[in-house]
Amino acid sequence: MINLEAPKKAGALINQAYQAAAEVFRPISRKYDRAEHTYPSELDMFAALLDGLNSSGEGGAGAAGVRRSEKDNGPKGNRNGANLNVVLGTIEMCWGDVGLLLSMPRQGLGNAAIGSVATDEQLERFKGLWAAMAITEPDCGSDSAAITTTATQDGDDYILNGEKIFVTSGQRADAVVVWATLDRTKGRAAIKSFVVEKGTPGFEVVRVEHKLGIRASDTAVLRFENCRVPRENLLGTPEIDTAKGFAGVMQTFDNTRPLVAAMAIGVARAALDETRRVLTEAGVVIDYDRPALTQHAAAATFLHLEADYEAAYLLTLESAWMADNREPNSLQASMAKAKAGRTVVDVTLKCVELAGAYGYTEESLLEKWSRDAKILDIFEGTQQIQQLIVARRVLGKTSAQLK
């Protein structure tokens, strides 16, 4: 069974991530919120540190893949591995600043895609690459299966044509993992992911978006026009298996959704910590030994927010733990993403309210966190999409049966 306490062996990682968040991210958080599209050069040193943690097997606060084998002959029993470490590290780093974490070199969501579905040869070849992930299109939002970007085989290459929007680190990353269809007539099963490196002819960064939050992170619009990609850059197998359907590509989300949930938890905890300080200075006592209805209204509200935070936190740990133990975690990943995404929005907005004028001004980071929070309820699948996935799995319905 899962142990709901953070494993002791993760203590050093958690402490390192917290120190980076407190000593580096927090002091420059407002600076890069104001200086949108400016690369935070302070992050280069910490990216190198995370590279070292990942290569040592300890795991870092970046992206790791969910890899499962039907012939897993490893040690039996409960395992707390890379996925749980990544989640715990991400929580601490996003307590500092989620936009800065998303700006870290070689920690992109595309790296999670490579880690999840790449072959062993591809893993080695793309090692050290900073990869963004390009899924969303102008006419295709939450329904990833409806993408229209095409990949047509031409000899030893594939020719990509299409446009992608809202690509996190799309301008700064070394490469982009692009989702495209090999055959529109074969539906979801024909969707594959391709690693397209910067500088490839036909690959263009059209623009970088101005955003509500996570302004330290660049979000780009990309265009692919007769973009020739070697067939060796198709992640996984090129075969179209209609029986397996979309499962191979969607395996990526088994990892990235808990990762985004962890980001939300880090931001929510930051807001709760700051609000607790504000309430304490105002003389509001938060008493865990008394019923909420007998306490100050602000204290009662704070206790309710903490309860939601704790539920999201535990769901996220469970989904990561299941991945480490090679258990199917798609349901739990969506549950964690849905709960954490909704919770961080509720928590940050209510914390701004509890802090009054102080929370609404740039004197504190509460107003910034309330802006950063919304994207965490949107990307990697919106709240509504996660609820649909959960309902389908609980009820045993297909996407055609339950829309």
pLDDT in tens, 341-352: 999 999 999 999
Which pLDDT score is estimated for 151? Answer: 97
Do residues 204 and 185 share a domain?
yes
Do residues 254 and 385 share a domain?
yes
Which pLDDT score is estimated for 48? Answer: 72
pLDDT in tens, 170-191: 999 999 999 999 998 888 889 9
Pick from 66-70, 257-261, 331-335, 371-375: least confident: 66-70
Does some domain include residue 321?
yes
pLDDT in tens, 133-179: 999 999 887 676 788 999 999 999 999 999 999 999 999 999 999 99
Do residues 265 and 387 share a domain?
yes
Pick from 112-116, 199-203, 243-247, 274-278: least confident: 243-247
Which pLDDT score is estimated for 75? Answer: 55
Do residues 251 and 387 share a domain?
yes
Whichever domain contains 303, its CATH number is: 1.20.140.10
Greater pLDDT, 17 or 307: 307
Does some domain include residue 121?
yes
Does some domain include residue 403?
no
pLDDT at 9 over 50: yes
Do residues 386 and 279 share a domain?
yes
Does some domain include residue 13?
yes
Do residues 80 and 105 share a domain?
yes
pLDDT in tens, 247-299: 555 667 787 899 999 999 999 999 999 999 999 999 999 999 999 999 999 99
pLDDT at 71 over 50: no
Do residues 190 and 253 share a domain?
no
Whichever domain contains 20, its CATH number is: 1.10.540
Q: Given 125, 140, 162, which residue is the final one in a domain? A: 125
Do residues 262 and 382 share a domain?
yes
Whichever domain contains 176, its CATH number is: 2.40.110.10
Pick from 72-76, 252-256, 299-303, 365-369: least confident: 72-76
Does some domain include residue 400?
no
Q: Given 73, 101, 125, which residue is the final one in a domain? A: 125
How many structural domains comprise the chain? Answer: 3
Active-site annotation, residues: 380
Which pLDDT score is estimated for 188? Answer: 81
Do residues 55 and 144 share a domain?
no
Does some domain include residue 2?
no
The parent domain of residue 364 ranges over 247-395
Which pLDDT score is estimated for 55? Answer: 59
Percentage of the chain lying above the pLDDT 70 cut:
88
Does some domain include residue 347?
yes
Three-state SS string over the chain comes to CCCCCCCHHHHHHHHHHHHHHHHHHHHHHHHHHHCCCCCCCCHHHHHHHHHHHHHCCCCCCCCCCCCCCCCCCCCCCCCCCHHHHHHHHHHHHHHHCHHHHHCCCCCCHHHHHHHHHCCHHHHHHCCCCCEEEECCECCECCCHHHCCCEEEEECCEEEEEEEEEEEECCCCCCEEEEEEECCHHHHHHHEEEEEEECCCCCEEEEEECCCCCCCCCCEEEEEEEEEEEEHHHECCCCCCCCCCCCHHHHHHHHHHHHHHHHHHHHHHHHHHHHHHHHHHHCCCCCCCCCCHHHCCHHHHHHHHHHHHHHHHHHHHHHHHHHHHCCCCCHHHHHHHHHHHHHHHHHHHHHHHHHHCHHHHCCCCCHHHHHHHHHHHCCCCCCHHHHHHHHHHHHHCCCCCCCC
Average pLDDT over residues 98-118: 86
Q: Given 190, 207, 233, which residue is the final one in a domain? A: 233
Do residues 146 and 60 share a domain?
no
Do residues 166 and 199 share a domain?
yes
Do residues 88 and 161 share a domain?
no
Does some domain include residue 401?
no
